[in-house]
Structure 1
């Protein structure tokens, strides 16, 4: 596979060397949007681009080419570029920038094999967020007046989903600042570029605060569904109504040289409204290298499986799988015949059993009826969730930069390596390794390594205990973020990382067996360097901390902890769990 040059150029180069018969671009399936009247600067490139895509047909190895320039797409909804069931498709640009509007989906690839997307920049004419400065606050704290920056024209009719305070110098969230959702009851334009927001409850804004307001959600800028061996290379995404890159139900892929970041040269404080890259229910190897993820309204990278809620149907000896609180579940999350499903307790995440899907029948509402051996029906009367063990991604994140964003830099689960990357100014943990039944993300952490990273000034809002957090969370009665003490994670190594000014501990780990924390360097931490609770077979060795701090551990875990060769670390027994 040739991700950095088009297959057309490779074939033409071979022809010039006499390695194959020369062929015309049409013979090679090469289509330029320019051949369909698409020109940089025109009012709407959409119709011509769709005509060019139609010319591609289903020819294997086809290439859709954008010459350099700025291309505007006028549609505010729907799909701008749809590619279904294609083999070895390449969509390429020589530095072309594509401008979109509203909640349109720029690129949707479904069921494609070995597709390549290369050399394009994606942006929005009017970014899907606004930013400005607080100039007045109501006496009761339930209203705030914001003067919006000129780059973000407003008329008072905007939907505002979330509000957050930012630091213009770092282009990240303000330390110990505000981050609230579903709080705006109404917005009124009281002067040019000035919005008066009525709030549902008191929020402690201060005059002079820089505020970012996120507007509508929408589809991903690039969405890959049930594709195989995809390549995303040398792309830039400067704005997105929701997720920048969404990957669902795919098998294997490579992401290299991709930049999800604020528009260079602008004063924008955000890029995408949600995750930079979100990969769910995928299998195979996902390699992400030499990328930048900055300014997202949620995680930089989130690679996860999906816990489906289980409703046993004893009468027909089957399990009904649903999306739970996120119903309907997406179609690409459906299990396949022969898949092994791990059933876990809804109250502790403890594994109950594994069953094999003998048949899978789609039902309405994003549900599936899965036939399983009769002796497995009704295993438990408590709430259960199922996760498909086939949809388990082997993740490598290497040499990437995360200069600042709301939420986490990387959220990962099993079979993951996060290495040689830099993290700074995340509002929460730089790296989160945790299954979570509230978000229905998993599986449990197994065979995961975090090594050789630089992590500084993370956890700006101090909502999490550490720069790297390993744990497990359940959701009793729908309450989010409730930790479980059940030991369900195993084989986790955190080694050779450099922590600088973590806002809290450097590492917090819980619900984990076979934990190694080795050769890490911690500078200017809080009084607690490492926090360990409900861990078994843990080893801390060769770590250095300056100034001196402590390892906080519960009494039972203390007997499971080996410490050797550390410098600047004391030991503190936390007896709150006794």
Structure 2
């Protein structure tokens, strides 16, 4: 029989400093941390990082061939802190600041169970994006003030080329930020920042750190605002979680990431509490994440996001979805050759033996039936054969498969979605979804419920979504794709089916502070309610959106709108109803 003393000896508590890590020095800590992680044996083991600053360099990172969802193929990946095939391990930072150099993945959790990261601040010495202050802007061009100590650059052939030790890149895009709100400037977004043809500018250096971009830009940024230069690639996530279970992130601050912020795929049960992806005000940066904040691809179990914050992102703060594959050909009555279609889903694992798969009509996105996987034979990173437990239904050209087993329940609460690029929250999962007590200041749609089998192949018809007690504050200030209203239900459906694609969406007890018309835009949605919400009018911005109706229902059925309190100044109360079963769309309080 094990005594308490014996049990205590099975649990190790180690410090990275005991293995050579030197806080508050520029020495590389990769090897010392790896040794500490290896030494932390036994269930419930803890690796401590005493408070201080630790540096990690790309050249010392672990190499792994990994395929990351919604990311570029850039193998091998470099990893600084690797947790692989471990169970019941906690890394505790207690405010430790981890500083990374070059293109590298700070954390990777692979094939592990019950892993916890707690109390770390993640940042880069030289971030993988850059920015400059607009000093002047007129019909002949823009003068940009760049701090070369933070954002080294050179001019090459009349173009700005930002540099580091191992890379040199021209910006492929700019985003304009307002330093007062620290968010995307009103009316800019993807298409309105500098206007078409901006890349034809010619740059000259007036003095070190002061660059003139000569061109008749179709739109000029405001003097004093910040232009964020996007010149990176989606190659390394801030934290990558794969083939794992019961993972927790607590009290984490990601000040910058080189790709997606925290990417989890094929993982069961994830809990993120008090995690922020946001630049520190002291850094002067407007940007944090290079792309999405939290990205969940093909996960299952329960996902909880609690008390988190997102600022300075260059893409959606949260995206929850599956990944469908297109049917290439029929090999036999039970076997299909299928293919990952999007370049950023190459190499993913579609499923496992025993998983339930839905056969998707790519035009209506409706299911033609289901079956279980009996065998999978990989042909290449893109293609594989799938054999099912019974004969497959009749399928058309371009139809797809969706894995229903790897679909999570998702809850996000008490979190803040700042005025970042694009939308706030994307969710496409048939699992139970609860979105409650959050603040949305999104520059695009606050919430997008999408789904498609034709473009990104991000699958997942919703069946039970509750959106309640949230505050939507002046969202939809800039134009982006799939941003039809503050809440957009916008699956990519080439041809409406006989039944709705999405079902069971309840939008109740929220407060909308709006300066423009569109509140809710829904396509192919059934059993949809919009009740007991408060709509307040704001004069902070000028209306600009092309959708002039407050509510739009396309191909919808069983819709109920009632009990909403509308500000008397909110006069754009129009309702548009087309297709579906209009006799089942009941609207009160709107015109």
TM bin (shorter chain): 0.7 to 0.9
In structure 1, what is the Cα distance between the partners aligned to 2:443 and 2:436?
A: 20
Cα deviations by residue, 1:177-199 (Å, 9 ceiling, x for unpaired): 14259974798672422456699
Residue from 266, 269, 276 that aligns with 1:249: 266
- For 2:550, what is the secondary structure of its paired residue? strand
Query: Which residue of the other structure, out of 428, 431, 449, is the alignment partner of 1:433?
Result: 449
Q: Please state if 1:472 is matched with 2:498.
A: no
1:202-255 CA-to-partner distances (Å, cap 9, x unmatched) read 652346253111231231111111110111111111111111111111011211
Pairwise CA RMSD of aligned residues? Answer: 2.8
Identify which of 42, 55, 62 aligns with 1:72: 55
Taking the aligned partners of 1:353 and 1:197, their CA distance within structure 2 comes to 57
**In the alignment, does 2:24 pair up with 1:41?**
yes
Normalised by the size of structure 2, how large is the TM-score?
0.84
Distance 1:485 1:553 in 2: 20
Judge conservation of contact 2:553–2:578 (CA < 8 Å) in 1. no
How has the CA–CA distance of structure 1 residues 30 and 185 changed in structure 2, closer, same or farther, with 3 Å as cutoff?
A: farther
2: distance between equivalents of 1:138 and 1:178? 20
2:555 corresponds to which of 534, 540, 552: 534
1:60 lines up with 2:20 in the alignment: no
1:282 to 282, 285, 299: 299
Range moving further from structure 2, 210-219 or 393-402: 210-219
* Corresponding position of 1:359: 375
- Cα distance in 2 for partners of 1:197, 1:441 equals 39
Match of 2:337 in 1: 320
CA contact (8 A) 1:485 1:511 kept: no
In the TM superposition, residue 342 of structure 1 has moved relative to its aligned partner by: 1.1
Structure 2 residue 352 is the aligned partner of structure 1 residue 336: yes
Deviation at 1:111, TM superposition (A): 0.8
Summarize deviations over 1:422-454 as a string: whole Å, max 9, x none.
111x22101111113422112112111111100
Distance between the aligned counterparts of 1:368 and 1:189, measured in 2?
Answer: 52
| Worse-superposed segment, 358-367 or 276-285 | 358-367
CA distance in 2, matches of 1:247, 1:215: 24
What corresponds to 2:572 in structure 1?
549
CA distance in 1, matches of 2:497, 2:23: 55
Aligned to 1:108: 108
- How many Å separate the matches in 2 of 1:72 and 1:405? 28
Go from structure 1 to structure 2 and tell me whether the alpha carbon gap of 1:293 and 1:207 turns closer, same or farther (over 3 Å shift): closer
Per-residue deviation, 1:23: 7.5
> Aligned in 2, Cα 1:241/1:173: closer, same or farther, shift over 3 Å?
same
What SS does the aligned partner of 2:423 have?
coil
SS in 2 for 1:53: helix
Q: Which structure carries more relative contact order (alpha carbon 8 Å, separation 6+)?
A: 2
**2:178 corresponds to:** 167
How far apart in 2 are the matches of 1:540 and 1:114? Answer: 43
- 1:136 deviates by 6.0
CA distance change for structure 1 residues 432 and 416 in 2, over 3 Å: closer, same or farther? same
Secondary structure of the corresponding residue to residue 87 of structure 2: coil
Find the aligned partners of 1:187 and 1:27 in 2 and give their Cα distance. Answer: 65
Which residue of structure 2 lines up, in the alignment, with residue 148 of structure 1?
146
Alignment CA distance shift 1:62-1:470 (3 Å): same
CA gap 1:187/1:237 in 2 versus in 1, 3 angstroms = farther
Distance 1:327 1:164, change over 3 A: closer
Does residue 238 (structure 1) correspond to residue 238 (structure 2)? The answer is: no
Q: Secondary structure of the residue that 1:258 maps to in structure 2?
A: strand
Query: Quick check: 215-224 or 555-564, which moved more?
Result: 555-564
**d(CA) in 2 for partners of 1:95 and 1:383?**
50
Aligned to 1:399: 414
Q: Secondary structure of the equivalent of 2:371?
A: strand
Q: Counterparts of 1:319 and 1:178 in 2: how far apart (Å)? A: 41
* CA separation of 1:86 and 1:189: change in aligned 2, threshold 3 A: farther
Q: Partners of 2:252 and 2:261 in 1: how far apart?
A: 11
Deviations 1:246-268 (A, max 9, x none): 11110112111111111143322
* Distance apart, 1:148 and its partner CA: 1.8
Deviation of 1:413 after TM superposition, in Å, equals: 2.1
Structure 1 contact 275–296 (Cα < 8 Å) conserved: yes
SS in 2 for 1:88: strand
Show CA shifts across 1:432-480 (max 9, x none). 1111342211211211111110001111114422111112114x7xxxx
Normalised by the size of structure 1, how large is the TM-score? 0.86
- Alpha-carbon separation, structure 1, partners of 2:560 and 2:388: 41
Of 496, 516, 522, which aligns to 2:509?
496
Please show how residues 439-478 of structure 1 align to structure 2 within 5 Å: 439-463=456-480, 464-474=483-493
1:350-403 deviation per Cα after TM superposition (whole angstroms, max 9, x unaligned)? 2222222111112212432111256316x2232112110001110000111112
- Tell me the secondary structure at the aligned position of residue 91 of structure 1: strand
Work out the CA distance in 2 between the residues paired with 1:196 and 1:241: 28
Sort the Cα spacing of 1:202 and 1:357 in 2 relative to 1 into closer, same or farther, 3 A.
farther
What is the rounded CA distance, in whole Å, between the counterparts of 2:261 and 2:13 in structure 1?
27
CA distance in 1, matches of 2:578, 2:39: 69
* 1:382 to 2:382 alignment: no
CA shift for structure 1 position 313: 2.9
Q: Conserved in 2, the CA contact under 8 Å of 1:471 and 1:489?
A: no
Q: 2:521 aligns with which of 505, 508, 516?
A: 508
SS in 2 for 1:153: coil
Q: CA distance change for structure 1 residues 319 and 197 in 2, over 3 Å: closer, same or farther?
A: farther
Quick check: 364-373 or 494-503, which moved more?
364-373
Structure 2 unaligned regions, length at least 5: 62-77, 155-160, 163-168
Change (3 A) 1:68 1:354: same
Pairwise CA distance, 1:316 = 7.6
Q: Following the alignment from structure 2 to structure 1, what is the Cα–Cα distance between the partners of residues 149 and 433?
A: 40
Q: Separation in 2 of the partners of 1:88 and 1:212?
A: 40
Structure 1 Cα separation of the partners of residues 341 and 179 of structure 2: 39
Q: Note the 1:180-195 alignment, pairs <5 A.
A: 184=199, 190=205, 191-195=207-211
